[in-house]
Structure 1
């Protein structure tokens, strides 16, 4: 969906320089101020505060029932907070009906009118607002061109593929030119390949239009791919808000580490902690890692490491006493681009390692029940502070 003009500037360069949350003078466009939402005795959102900035692609990530969709519905105006306030551009939204808010929402089901053509679906909200026919015609043509659906203007939704229906819903949501677009599991109905393609198209479209996107998803890869920042939610609270790379590489709790991507978490006792280096005695072996955590000898701590950080080999390392685990290959999963190895250690832990398949064939492929070594360097893992499970 990127235009020739936008193609002249790398999207990566735009996103790399975009960090308004680190600018003390920047003010959020959307503010959740100690918001709580209860349904009877159940608390869906619990005293939550959050700021989302103009032009940000923001993801609310969490398991079903964590409160992310409730948060989106309160922003849209379909629910009112039990306590706290929600502000848009500094103005409170309390009591403002959905149709008076300068935002639009795209639902997972797309909610297209089956008896209307594509162009009439896109024009529906504009007609409801009383826009002149000529303006509606021009705006609909603009939206269909934006999402590359001009040849399908006269078709009805049931004559379109799932991906095309998703684009109709997107065009309809954008037709009224909202300040904020809310997306509730927008790609859930698409197959894996189309979902991945659409993620990049949404990113390009968001930059092209200069809008603020807030997306709700339970798919970690989707949130990691599209968003500038991710808020990981659990039980109505936010556990961590950060850029995708920070959430993945430096999770602040066991829950975040375990929810976002694959991870091995080892418990152990601190042997030494000095000069930014921690030595942790685990059942799997001695771990030495860099950490700024304030830990004392004898204290219990958790060490998290991602599968791609572990090097798998038949050969023993030069120093097998630290950052080296020996075990047996228990399970193997070939995924095309990578192969996953689950390695069972003598103490009973299972550690996962990911190996990139750089060659089409390997003459000495590691097999089941082979003895192997898993090694890693100091920077490979992270000490998890706190116990926000």
Structure 2
């Protein structure tokens, strides 16, 4: 049997020109008075995809999810699910289910009663309800907690009950609104992988809303970065991180160093940029830059080297002073203050237990990065 990891690694229907999207948002706008929470947005999601809507509070991601669920109506535009226009289809008739951040469990009901609630509302026969509840309890590994009530469970267990209740009706699409927000860091990290495995095992389409970058990067096949009701970029986690489409996306996902300058040369995908302090950078990833225009060089901190002396043959190098140091165990983060006052962040992996002659505060240091370490952005 093929492993879940192998299945997920080869999953990329968006690269197939013949693949039909399972969910379509076509020019969707949702206005509340004069405010457009979602602004002329178009987006496609594929069957069995784990899709993340990522953005700051107020960017429109939850409103988008609620329109798909049927709790809000678009002001204009269409939403299609498996080819069906959802206009006029009430929430209870849509083949989707939504798991809320608060979990919304009934406090007076047991775990099994909470899971069975939606099935009873659908008038499913009692024997089938019992079988389905047993399946869900086994799926989320809560068999021994069936008779307990929500207040007798941990946060992680309550999260699993809410998940089991959402899955009990066997929806085609599961919508998750900040599903792990109430969990502590370690439990949240463990649950991310459990959700990924569960999604692959069930073969469902998951759409998750989150403002947690790490959560989206870990779980999703693709991510839509949202800002002020619009989609700024849709891509895989690796593409979002390594090849952001704009300064907004580069700055929003992870830490980034940004250098503004004039493009001196741009040809064959390469570029040479001179920043405001006169330092020239040579880049292999020139993007769409053209000579004589303004562009921004974006470099992730882990691609920046920090040394006491200028490295031999370094192409992109600047001198400065160690301004701040943060020791994080697996890595050390340096803030280097350049001679013109700008701060550059560098993350250095602590691969050795002891570091001889380590840099400390106010030491002079050089930062440098390879020509293929950065990307040139024009917007």
Give TM-score scaled by structure 2 length. 0.98
CA contact (8 A) 2:317 2:366 kept: yes
Unaligned regions of 5+ residues in structure 2, if any? none
Q: Is 1:376 paired with 2:369?
A: yes
2:190 equivalent among 172, 197, 207:
197
CA contact (8 A) 2:270 2:287 kept: no
2:293 equivalent among 299, 303, 309:
299
Aligned-residue offset at 1:283: 3.4
Q: Is 1:172 paired with 2:169?
A: no
Write the distance in 2 (CA, Å) between the matches of 1:362 and 1:384: 36
1:132 equivalent among 125, 129, 154:
125
1:3 aligns to what?
none
Structure 1 counterpart SS, 2:88: coil
CA contact (8 A) 1:33 1:48 kept: yes
2:78 equivalent among 62, 82, 85:
85
Structure 2 counterpart SS, 1:339: strand
2:356 aligns to what?
363
1:288 equivalent among 267, 278, 282:
282
CA contact (8 A) 1:28 1:52 kept: yes
1:346 aligns to what?
339
Structure 2 counterpart SS, 1:298: coil
Aligned-residue offset at 1:273: 1.4
Write the distance in 2 (CA, Å) between the matches of 1:275 and 1:53: 34
Which deviates more, 373-382 or 284-293?
284-293
Please give the per-residue CA displacement for 1:61-80, whole angstroms capped at 9, x wherever unaligned. 00000000000000000000
1:22 equivalent among 15, 22, 27:
15
Give TM-score scaled by structure 1 length. 0.95
Q: Where do 4+ consecutive residues of structure 1 move more than 4 Å? A: none
Please give the per-residue CA displacement for 1:340-375, whole angstroms capped at 9, x wherever unaligned. 111100111101000111122223221111111111
Structure 2 counterpart SS, 1:145: helix
How many residues get paired?
A: 378
CA contact (8 A) 1:307 1:354 kept: yes
1:220 equivalent among 205, 209, 213:
213
Write the distance in 2 (CA, Å) between the matches of 1:295 and 1:55: 37
Aligned-residue offset at 1:292: 4.8
Please give the per-residue CA displacement for 1:123-163, whole angstroms capped at 9, x wherever unaligned. 00001000111111110010010001001000000000000
2:35 aligns to what?
42
Unaligned regions of 5+ residues in structure 1, if any? 1-7
Structure 2 counterpart SS, 1:171: helix
Structure 2 counterpart SS, 1:59: strand
Structure 1's 10 and 286: CA in aligned 2 closer, same or farther, altered over 3 A? farther
Superposition pairs of residues 84-163 of structure 1, within 5 angstroms: 84-163=77-156
